Structure 1
Amino acid sequence: MKIISMIPARYAASRFPGKLMQDLAGKPVIVRTYEAAVNTGLFDEVIVVTDSDIIFDTVRDHGGKAMMSQEEHDCGSDRIAEAVADMDVDIVVNVQGDEPFTDRESLEKVIEVFREDPDREIDLASLMTPIDDWEEINDPNTVKVIVDHRSFALYFSRSPIPYPRAKEVGAVYYKHKGIYAFRKEAIVDFKKLKMQPLEATEKIEAIRYLEYGRKIKMVVTTSEGIEIDTPEDLEKAKKQWK
């Protein structure tokens, strides 16, 4: 089984433009993320796919592999789908460019899902981590996920799900971490599927798979790391790196 990691990277982030080029302990965030993915030792190849000449040149200048997108894309999955269409691969792992603390244990868990799926029931796998901070649960920047008894995703939302009408029941809240592992055919098909209203409303691309009946297996991880979405996150990352 050939497994690669693709890191979609665009320069113009809405909340923190240019965040992937911000300095983190002497190297840009995107380079730190690339190196973290390589250092897991899990992949036959790690490639940054971008629409930015600056990011492309920076990754290459630091000895990394990078590809330029040939089309305009609305989301990272579309960008990856274009890049892998003609590649001979089985599993594609999407590592977000703003995740410089990406760790081997978490990635290994989503890859293992496919090794334990002989019937090829699962289209993609992703990570979730338990959260109990109500400020974070109510934060729209934190994507929440609910799952069935087999840990297949039922829905993703920026709203608190489940709604805490009866807090005493003790439901566990899960934050979705933006790492996905896809069968190649699933990610290639994604680009052909038209965005539906739920995805367009929530701005969560994983919802597109659910709207078209695809199976997403969620895996619990306790590894938090730091996703760099804001300047404040970058400052936290710098402190943690030290």
Structure 2
Amino acid sequence: MHITGILPARWGSSRFPGKPLHLIAGKPLIQHVWERCSQCSRLDDLLIATDDDRILAAAEAFGARAVMTSSEHPTGTDRIAEAIRSLPDTTHVVNIQGDEPLIDPELIDELAATMARVPELDMATAANPLDPSDPNVDDPNVVKVVTALDGRALYFSRSPLPFFRNPVDGLPVLRHKGIYAYRRSFLERFVTWPPSPLEQAESLEQLRALENGASIKVLTTTDTSPGVDTPEQAREIERLLSSL
């Protein structure tokens, strides 16, 4: 078994062009994420997959291994699928968002360990509990997930999930974190499937996996590290980093 962590990093972004190279506390955003991932003990390899020469050059300058991929990929998952073609030894992949500079290395290791423990598992991801009264529950930019009793994902949605017609003590709302681990053979099949109806309705590609019968294990985590989608959020991350 050979587990590779991959950070997809594209230049184009409707809200934040050039985001991976935006400087936060003197370093490019993607470097902060890479340094956190470098603390992991369960990854056999770590790679940045990009579509831009500037990101490639910056990654190599701070010591990362990086590979160029097509600029035509609609999702980071497609970019990762291209990147692993040059990694014949890789059996499992952890897809780490390139805009989470405070991601917990222990969470990445836990996902990798889960895939190692259950090598036939299609996918694994993570979610952190929210209080049902948290305003994020109603935010369509915050993805929610509900699970079966054994921790398998039943559904992901931008809507409040579950709908509490009746109060249930101890039942949290689970906020989905955009980190995934895949078995290589599953990932290679996944990117050949067309976008599915629920995926298109919710704009959530993980629903394509569920609609095609995949099993997604959801790990519950206390990691609430924020991502960076706007320059304003980048400034908040810089403030948080300065306080560490």
Quick check: 1:42–1:104 contact (8 Å CA) kept in 2?
Answer: no
Matched with 1:57 is: 57
Q: Counterpart amino acid of 2:240? A: Q
Q: State how many pairs are aligned.
A: 239
Identify unmatched segments of 5+ residues in structure 2.
none
Deviation at 1:66, TM superposition (A): 0.9
Q: Is residue 129 from structure 1 mapped to residue 128 from structure 2 by the alignment?
A: yes
Identity of aligned residues (%): 38
CA offsets 1:140-175 (integer angstroms, 9 cap, x no match): 111111100111001111111112333x22431001
Give the RMSD, CA atoms, in angstroms.
1.5
Identify unmatched segments of 5+ residues in structure 1.
none
Q: Which moved more, 1:5-14 or 1:148-157?
A: 5-14
Q: Is residue 102 from structure 1 mapped to residue 103 from structure 2 by the alignment?
A: yes
Deviation at 1:135, TM superposition (A): 1.3
Q: Counterpart amino acid of 1:10? A: R
Deviation at 1:230, TM superposition (A): 2.2
Q: Counterpart amino acid of 2:124? A: A
Matched with 1:27 is: 27
Quick check: 2:11–2:52 contact (8 Å CA) kept in 1?
Answer: yes
Q: Counterpart amino acid of 2:111? A: V
Q: d(CA) in 2 for partners of 1:86 and 1:67?
A: 9
Matched with 1:4 is: 4
Quick check: 2:42–2:113 contact (8 Å CA) kept in 1?
Answer: no
4+ residue stretches of structure 1 with deviation over 3 A? none
Q: d(CA) in 2 for partners of 1:114 and 1:61?
A: 31
CA offsets 1:10-30 (integer angstroms, 9 cap, x no match): 111233222222111110101
Q: Is residue 172 from structure 1 mapped to residue 172 from structure 2 by the alignment?
A: yes
Q: Counterpart amino acid of 2:7? A: I
Instruction: Classify 1:68/1:43 alpha carbon distance in 2 versus 1 (closer, same or farther; 3 Å).
Output: same
Matched with 1:194 is: 194
Quick check: 1:22–1:28 contact (8 Å CA) kept in 2?
Answer: yes
Q: d(CA) in 2 for partners of 1:179 and 1:27?
A: 22
Matched with 1:141 is: 141
Report the 3-state secondary structure (helix = DSSP H, G, I; strand = E; otherwise coil) of the residue aligned with 2:128. strand
Quick check: 2:143–2:158 contact (8 Å CA) kept in 1?
Answer: yes
Deviation at 1:116, TM superposition (A): 2.6
Deviation at 1:52, TM superposition (A): 1.5
Deviation at 1:86, TM superposition (A): 4.6
Matched with 1:89 is: 90
Q: TM-score normalized by structure 1?
A: 0.93
